[in-house]
Amino acid sequence: MTHALTDTAAASLGDLDTLIGYHLRRCSGVMSAPFARGVAGTGLRQVPFAILSVIAENPGIRQGAAGETLGIQRANMVALINELIEAGYVDRRPAEDDRRAFALYATTEGAEVLRRCTRSITEQETRVLAEFTAAERGTLLKLLRRIEARERG
């Protein structure tokens, strides 16, 4: 046991520590734990959960529009939507004004699961970020939303 100095201490990141993209990716990984605890037992994952939320909030939304809102490519939406339908969380009906398109709706069960999960995830996030004030969480959210608005950069 001769490695006392570097035993538990994390090594230096170097200039990596100044890169916002690195920290965003890392933090995203950290926050996947409270998410997982929040949706435990539902079979939901991060992206399907996000899709369900958008569908519940925008009844009748087209598959492509839901994907655009979340930055998900059309090709990847297909399996994700099928999965939500098979789980009984989403309903798909032919769009009335465009026979190419589908209109999506959250089922009663989907809406209920979504509500429960959203509350639970929020609790878990608040627990992980217990040292953050509400104002700090608000500041963070605002900054992140501004980055998303820069999507085309």
Partner DNA sequence: TATTGTTATACTCTATAACTATA
Partner DNA sequence: TATAGTTATAGAGTATAACAATA
Q: Is 78 one of the binding residues for DNA (CB under 7 A)?
A: yes
Contacts of its own copies in 111-150 (CB under 8 A): 118, 121-122, 125, 127-132, 136-137, 139-141, 143-148, 150
Strand order across the 61-62 sheet: 61-62, 102-106, 90-94
**Which x/- pattern over 8-27 shows residues binding DNA (rule: CB under 7 A)?**
-----------------x--
63 C-beta neighbours (distance < 10 Å), count: 21
Dihedral-angle region of residue 71 (phi above 0 means left; psi in -120 to 50 means alpha; beta otherwise): left
Half-sphere exposure of 153 (CA within 13 A, CB side): 6
CA 30 from chain centre, in angstroms, equals 13
Is residue 144 within the footprint of DNA (CB under 7 A)? no
Written as six digits, the tokens of 112 are: 């209920």
In the complex, the smallest distance separating the C-beta of residue 6 from its own copies, rounded to whole angstroms, is 6
Residue 55 Cβ, how far from its own copies at the closest point, in Å?
9
- Residues contributing to the site for its own copies (CB under 8 A): 2, 6, 10-35, 46, 49-50, 53-54, 56-58, 61, 65-66, 68-71, 97, 118, 121-122, 125, 127-132, 136-137, 139-141, 143-148, 150-151, 153
